Amino acid sequence: MNNTELELLKIIADMEGTPEGAYNIRANSELESRRVTENIDIKTKTDKPGIDIIIKPNTKGEKVHIPVIISQTGLKELVYNDFYIGDNCDVEIVAGCGIHNCGDEESRHDGVHTFFVGKNAKVTYTEKHIGIADGKGESNMNPTTVINIDEGGYMEMETTQLSGVDSTDRKTTAKLKDNATLVIREKLMTSGVETAKTDFVVDLDGENSSANVVSRSVAKDNSYQLFLSRINGNNICNGHTECDAIIMDNAKVSAVPEITANHIDASLIHEAAIGKIAGEQLIKLMTLGLTEQEAEEQIVNGFLK
């Protein structure tokens, strides 16, 4: 892999050199390298592009990396990855996609990740997206995530997209059984004429299931963002969805949180806030010696942490 590809791996998956544990690195639609462990197996699908990640029951403290790199202009791919997390596991999954488009054609990665989280299992899933362009070609990503959490299962999902992706359409659906928990934290920044749409649908089917879906975003220049979030309380449950956005320049942001109670003991909350950076925040930082641009960057970086 060249230096640019290695730098992308470092950004999206915190990989410097060969990581410990299981991993599967995909570069330009081909398998770059792979390692499996005693408890984590990775198999190439035979019917369509993608892999199966199979984690044995009771696996604890292990991590698997599955990053994707595209550095070939004009390459478009659709990949299906399925995760089977056994009962009583406690594991971390690190994914992400980096596109370096140095030409004039569109490069695009569409990925469908399906999770089957076992009983009383705990999964931490992080996913970072970034695009770098040296030419006029667009870098586009459209991730789809399907989550199924069994009784007592817990999944924490953190997605980050901070620069260079011209267009993204993220779809996430989740179904939770009894005592299952889902926590989603989205961080998103758009600039230029980039567009980003995120659409979350969570079905709280199980008794005492719960979900917390929180998005923080910054829209700059002439970019556009659309945030959709729907939580359906179908049992005794707790659900919360929230969108906080900073809008700058000529950008536009739409936030549409929606909650539906289909059970008398469903407790659901939604929140949305969109606004510009407060003038007093800028003044305070500028009195400390920062320029207006530096002050804005400090505020944005702190907001997206």
Amino acid identity, position 155? M
Is residue 244 assigned to a domain? yes
Is residue 305 assigned to a domain? no
Is residue 285 assigned to a domain? no
Amino acid identity, position 255? A
Is residue 156 assigned to a domain? yes
d(CA 57, CA 122): 11
First to last CA, the chain: 30
Per-residue confidence (pLDDT) for residue 284, from 0 to 100: 75
pLDDT confidence bin for 270, thresholds 50/70/90: very high
d(CA 278, CA 122): 39
- Number of domains, the chain: 1
146, 192, 269 from 171: Cα distances, Å: 8, 23, 21
Per-residue confidence (pLDDT) for residue 10, from 0 to 100: 87
Is residue 302 assigned to a domain? no
Chain centre distance of CA 21: 22
Q: pTM for the full model?
A: 0.93
Of residues 282 and 11, the one with the higher pLDDT is 11
Residue 261 CB: number of other CB atoms within 10 A?
A: 16
Residue 287 CB contacts under 8 Å (≥ 6 apart), including other chains: none
11, 187, 281, 283 from 300: Cα distances, Å: 19, 11, 11, 15
Mean per-residue pLDDT, 256-279: 93
Is residue 109 assigned to a domain? yes
Each residue of 146-192: pLDDT tens digit?
A: 999 999 999 999 999 978 999 999 999 999 999 999 999 999 999 99
Is residue 291 assigned to a domain? no
Each residue of 85-121: pLDDT tens digit?
A: 999 999 999 999 999 998 999 999 999 999 999 999 9
Domain that holds residue 71: 3-278
Three-state secondary-structure class, residue 127: strand
Each residue of 59-80: pLDDT tens digit?
A: 999 999 999 999 999 999 999 9
Is residue 303 assigned to a domain? no
